[in-house]
Structure 1
Amino acid sequence: MKALVTKRFGNPPVMAVEDRAKPAFKDGFTLVRMHAATINQLSNTIRKGEIGDPKAPLVLGNEGSGVVEESTNFNPGTRVAIYGSNELGITKDGVFQEWVLVEDNRLLELPETLNWEEGAALTVNYLTAYLALTRTAKLKKDQTVLISGASGSVGHALVQVSKALGGRPIGVVSSSDKARRVKDAGAPWVVDLSSQDLAEAVLELTDGQGADVALDPVGGPMLAQLLRSVGRRCRVVSIGFTGGKSPPVDVVDLIVYEKALAGYSLHAEPEENVSRALGEIAMFAAKGLLRPAIDSSYAIDDFELGYSRLGSRKAAGSIILRL
């Protein structure tokens, strides 16, 4: 079978498509014939050697979609989405290959409403959104949710999940073109930073109260802007750092208004939380409330084009590797 193997970690990394043996089935696991996987920031950070201590050679890829070939829990032919947890594509070979062996509890049956590419982007981003909103942000019905990077794949998931949970999302984007896409995706309000001041716009949208909670997949200076835009005793949850790892925070604002800053990591979640959340995501998707945005897709031999698109920061949605 074809497998995309990272042979050396660093900047630049060395990756190549190789021929490998097909994994052998074993109890407690499901053998999946892969159709699609996501090229995301996690795999990009790992391949550059910027996180953890990965050992080469390693097949990256932490989420994807495919069809069950052999399993004790799923009928052959079942369409599934895969969540690799903190192992697949991190410490063990992941989903950038034609067949993969996945633990049964890391699969969800893919609703017929979603195609392979959408299914490939259904687990990591939506699990992050659901659990960050429910466990860390403690979102309540009718609360306003400020979401940075709302045109990106994580931001898109946050918009849809917050709506499914009864929240009122305010998407934050950097251009009018992105603002249009976020509105089309279902956000009732969008702030365009190319023409608006974030704090002023949020105060106007919330009758001077500020947002109830903010979720930040971007990081860097954006986190500080979000912190200024939430109300008294409200919370900002940091879940990404594509815009930088060292945000300038106004400590006076933090103290005087008793605001809270929290971090969220999906890979720190207990398995029982993830299993429960996968069920909720499958239910929301089956009802048509969740649909990942796909920016572009690439054949396995063109993987570097996918990573170039990711690095351009122009992508509006997930970048897919076709398997």
Structure 2
Amino acid sequence: MPRIVRFHELGGPEVLRIEQVDILPPGPGEIQIRVKALGLNRAEALMRAGQYLESPALPSSLGFEAAGEVASLGLGVDGFRLGDAVSVIPPLSQAQWPTYAEIINFPAYLVVKHPESLGWEAAAALWMPYLTAYGALVDIARAGPGDFIAITAASSSVGLAAIQIARQAGAHPIAITRTSAKVPALREQGATDVIACQEQDLAGSLNLITGGKQVRVVLDAVGGPNFTPLADAMAPGGILFSYGGLSGQPTPYPLAQVLAKNLTLRGYLVHEITGNPAKLDNAKRFILEGLRKGDLTPVIDKIFPFDEIADAHRHLESNQQFGKIVVRIAPL
């Protein structure tokens, strides 16, 4: 029987268990995928710990990203063949459509035939970061030449995808990281400037970098006290996307800056793109074209074997990674 990762109680990485289960054939409109690799996301650690937007019924599995081969087709599925190399778009519910398994059934409309040259690990590291960054920077903010874009948690998979997409749009990505340790790597990935926010004055550094033009777009995964200096450095009419709260500290509302500059502060999740078929089609075309041209390249931090899923989660929560953490699944 194929194996699946499940947890029977909320808690740390130690609650993750690998169990053998029977997998039903794919239902109408579903594709069964033999998983080769899966990508890890912070949302999965949060759900495992009972801190995510979704509250799973226990026991539950989890996971948003995977890549593998088409193993079987459900009734009414067209456009795919057995053996196709595919990867999955993050679903609305990871409890309903989990990816941490050797075999998964997935809605066909969330399955993509990616370039075979991409490789399983890179394909499993693709859709969550690039769709998240695309939705904020391209679909909503319409980032373009000359825009200054500040990106917090810049060494995360989303942060690195945002740097690449900003460069593709002709904008100036400013990477914000905690310390100077990752500065050279972030520059190598295309950041035009890098700020170590625990070592430098954030607002002052942003204003110096932009030469007084200020930042039009902020993509923030951190929240907390840095919200105010970020708002200080924003241009009139600028937009700040908040898609996470990694700081764990209270996030002040910068009322004075919002009023004085007519700023837009908005919550943002990738489901704004994945839940809209027209927007998702545009995003897929954009990302696949970026891959073809070489403008977009998933960055992988470390690859763990499936049996070490708990260690992979520990590494995820260490905040030491640079890019996506991937789990490789050996052939059945």
Fold shared per TM-score above 0.5: yes
- Which of 137, 154, 159 is the equivalent residue of 1:155? 159
Q: 1:186 and 1:134 mapped to 2: Cα distance?
A: 18
CA-to-aligned-CA distance 1:264-289 (integer Å, 9 cap, x gap): 11124433122331222112112211
Q: 2:46 and 2:327 mapped to 1: Cα distance?
A: 17
Equivalence map 1:67-78=2 (5 Å): 67-71=69-73, 72-78=78-84
| Corresponding residue number in structure 1 for 2:136 | 132
- Which of 269, 292, 298 is the equivalent residue of 1:292? 298
- Which of 48, 53, 56 is the equivalent residue of 1:54? 56
- Which of 138, 141, 145 is the equivalent residue of 2:145? 141
Gaps of 5+ in 1: none
Following TM superposition, the consecutive aligned residue runs of length 4 or more in structure 1 with deviations greater than 6 angstroms are none
Structure-2 change in CA distance of 1:286 and 1:202 (3 Å): same
CA contact (8 A) 1:220 1:246 kept: yes
- Once the two structures are overlaid, the 10-residue window that deviates more, 252-261 or 234-243, is 252-261
Q: 1:134 and 1:12 mapped to 2: Cα distance?
A: 35
The root-mean-square deviation of aligned C-alpha atoms, in Å, is: 1.9
| Corresponding residue number in structure 1 for 2:200 | 196
Does residue 321 (structure 1) correspond to residue 327 (structure 2)? The answer is: yes
**Aligned partner of residue 58 in structure 1, secondary structure:** coil
Equivalence map 1:28-177=2 (5 Å): 28-51=29-52, 52-71=54-73, 72-87=78-93, 89-90=94-95, 92-177=96-181
Give TM-score, length-normalised by structure 1.
Answer: 0.93
Percent identical among aligned pairs is 28
Gaps of 5+ in 2: none
Q: Displacement, 1:110?
A: 1.9
Structure-2 change in CA distance of 1:12 and 1:75 (3 Å): closer
Does residue 271 (structure 1) correspond to residue 276 (structure 2)? The answer is: yes
| Corresponding residue number in structure 1 for 2:18 | 17
Give TM-score, length-normalised by structure 2.
Answer: 0.90
Q: 2:97 and 2:217 mapped to 1: Cα distance?
A: 37
Q: 1:15 and 1:204 mapped to 2: Cα distance?
A: 46
CA contact (8 A) 2:13 2:311 kept: no
CA contact (8 A) 1:4 1:300 kept: no
Q: Displacement, 1:129?
A: 0.5
Q: Displacement, 1:313?
A: 0.9
Q: 2:65 and 2:120 mapped to 1: Cα distance?
A: 12
**Aligned partner of residue 45 in structure 1, secondary structure:** helix
Q: Displacement, 1:120?
A: 0.6
- Once the two structures are overlaid, the 10-residue window that deviates more, 77-86 or 41-50, is 77-86
Equivalence map 1:221-240=2 (5 Å): 221-240=225-244
Q: Displacement, 1:314?
A: 0.9
